[in-house]
Amino acid sequence: MSGARDIDQRGTRRGARVAATAILAILPVLVGPLFDGGSVLAAQAPRWEVDVNASRIRYDTAAALNAPSVTSLLEWRRPSLFARLSGGVTGFEGSGWSIQGRGDVARWLAPFGAAGPARVEIAAMGAASRHSFGFESFVGRTDLRLHAAGREYGGWIGAGLAVARNSFDSAAVRGFLPTAGVWARRGPVRATASYVHTRVAGRAHPEANAVLVLSRGLLDLSLYGGFRRSPFESSGLDESWVGGAATLWVNETAAVVLSGGRYSSDVLQDLPGGDFISIGVRLTSRRERPIPARVPTPIVYAVEDVRERGIILGVPDADRVEIAGDFNGWTLQPLERHSSGGWVVPAGLEPGVYRFNLRVDGERWTVPEGVPQVDDGFGGRVGLLIISGGAESSRP
């Protein structure tokens, strides 16, 4: 009887793990649209995304398989905080299914003030997966990095600690990951190069990666490549990889995504690399456009000042001004004229980074003078409102 109870308990624990992982995988799909309706979270501009893909995957340890999948994410971006919850379900031709879930959070500190060139990043990540035949894996990681950035270039140096475990190993694997990198931006192009010196069980696995991203008009294009070279001849972990993805936007919330290439094995989780090609459809609350680390004449408003005095934008020679941004779903909203002659941004914005544009007299679009501008992804420009939650921020 005790053996039967043990089996039942193991089955219960396994079922609980499957249920927890499944909830993590589908939670962004279920709750993502709900967050856009809440006044507080909508003001913080969360973004949700759902991809439906058809893929062909060939693992290094198995023959090629057809693999339909549904993946999703829910993401928050604020001036000093980033958080993301993502997950997915993948089916394999004649080989069951797998569920994956992952959570990321990062906090940035400005030791020399909001306008200074340096940032300290504290980040954490946790991920888990389960296959229908019983294989499970888990990895957790924490990182501390120092960033330095100019308007068109920057870099970082730091280190991380990681722990991983899977069903094939009886003990957890721990790793130490010193890392460094540089990036450069010119117009719609951004290039990043990074190096990580992973050490696991006393062995080093030095790895280099490069990423090139182009965003222009309706097209987002990304290319990546890298290699790993182990000093131990018998490690079997020497490899290289290359691939890319093209995203063609039908409108601001829907796109077709084509991707393919090779991805690397996972040293920590002992998972194989492979080759893939995939085509899918992406639905999102809004197209992602990364906020530059530096923009001309940065303006950072303290949330206390915004709530007390509001934000006043100067638009000369205007009789009527309307605002549209990612904080109101890009719908036009009329502004009130201030006694100073400027125009008052609607109250209620919480700390966050917001893109916006102004329509003047129902005809022309403009970004007020002195407000930082970024590419809108369609050949135009939009302004940025940056609202900090701390009193250290300043208004012009």
What pLDDT, in 10s, does the model give residues 345-367?
Answer: 877 777 878 888 898 888 788 88
Residue 290 has a CB neighbour count (10 Å cut-off) of 11
- The per-residue pLDDT for 80 is 74
C-alpha dist (Å) from residue 106 to 48, 77, 110, 143, 390: 18, 10, 13, 9, 17
One domain, residues 148 and 264: yes
Token pair of 165 as six digits: 């475990």
Q: Which of 63-67, 74-78, 166-170 has the highest mean pLDDT?
A: 63-67
Alpha-carbon distance of 358 to 375, in angstroms, equals: 15
- CA 335/CA 66 separation, integer angstroms: 53
Looking up tokens 């504290």 gives 122
Provide the sign of the torsion angle of the four alpha carbons 177, 117, 115, 193, taken in this order.
negative
Q: Are residues 30 and 97 in the same domain?
A: yes
Q: What is the mean pLDDT of the chain?
A: 79
Calculate mean pLDDT across residues 62-83.
85
Residue 136 lies in a domain: yes
pLDDT at 88 over 70: yes
Domain boundary among 252, 284, 316: 284
Contact 70, 88 (CB under 8 A): yes
Interval 162-175: pLDDT, tens: 999 888 777 888 99
CA atoms within 13 A on the CB side of 223: 5
The bridge status of strand 352-360 relative to strand 364-366 is antiparallel
> What's the confidence (pLDDT) of residue 206?
92
Same domain, 86 and 149: yes
Q: Do the beta carbons of residue 306 and residue 391 sit within 8 Å? A: no
Evaluate whether 241 touches 226 at the Cβ level (below 8 Å). Answer: yes
Which among 161, 160, 159, 163 has a CA at the least distance from the CA of 137? 163
254 shares its domain with 318: no
pLDDT given for residue 276 in this prediction: 93
At 389 the pLDDT is 66
Residues 274 and 314 placed together within one structural domain of the fold: no
Nearest to 299 by CA among 340, 365, 356, 366: 356
CATH at 342: 2.60.40.10
Q: Which two tokens stand for residue 387?
A: 């609202």
| Mean predicted confidence (pLDDT) in 268-287 | 88
Within 13 Å of residue 308, how many CA atoms lie on the same side as its CB?
Answer: 7
Q: Which residues pair with 106 in a beta bridge?
A: 82, 123
Instruction: Count Cα atoms within 13 angstroms, Cβ side, for 3.
Output: 0
Residue listed under structure tokens 């300290």: 120
Same-domain check for residues 313 and 194: no
Instruction: Label residue 100 exposed, middle or buried (CB < 10 Å: 0-12, 13-18, 19+).
Output: buried
Residue from 267, 244, 271, 270 nearest 257 by CA: 244
- The CATH number given to whatever domain includes residue 68 is 2.40.160.40
Residue 195 binned pLDDT confidence (cut-offs 50, 70, 90): very high
Residue 378 backbone dihedrals phi, psi, to 5 degrees: -125, 25
DSSP letter, residue 394: B
Q: Using CB atoms within 10 A of its CB, is residue 114 exposed (0-12), middle (13-18) or buried (19+)?
A: middle
Domain that holds residue 65: 2-284
Are 375 and 261 found together in one domain? Answer: no
| 260-to-54, 237, 274, 284 alpha-carbon distances in Å | 12, 22, 11, 21
Q: 310 and 279 share a domain? A: no
* pLDDT band at residue 82 under the 50/70/90 scheme: confident
Q: pLDDT-based confidence at 104, cuts 50/70/90? A: very high
Whether residues 33 and 91 share a domain: the answer is yes
DSSP bridge partners of 155:
148, 182
- Report the alpha-carbon distance of residue 198 to residue 217 in Å, rounded: 38
Could you tell me the end-to-end alpha-carbon distance of the chain, in angstroms, rounded to an integer? Answer: 75
pLDDT band at 84 (very low <50, low <70, confident <90, very high): very high
**Per the domain annotation, does 374 fall within a domain?**
yes
Q: Which two tokens stand for residue 99?
A: 């569920």
Per the structure, the count of domains in the chain is 2
* Distance of alpha carbon 184 from alpha carbon 212, whole angstroms: 10
Question: What's the pLDDT at 282?
Answer: 96
Domain assignment present for 93: yes
Position 20 in a domain: yes
* Residue 193: inside a domain: yes
Distance CA 396, CA 382 (A): 19
Whole-number pLDDT of residue 379 = 58
Give the domain-ending residue among 251, 284, 317.
284
| Residue 251 · residue 268 · CB < 8 Å | no
Last residue of a domain, one of 230, 256, 284: 284
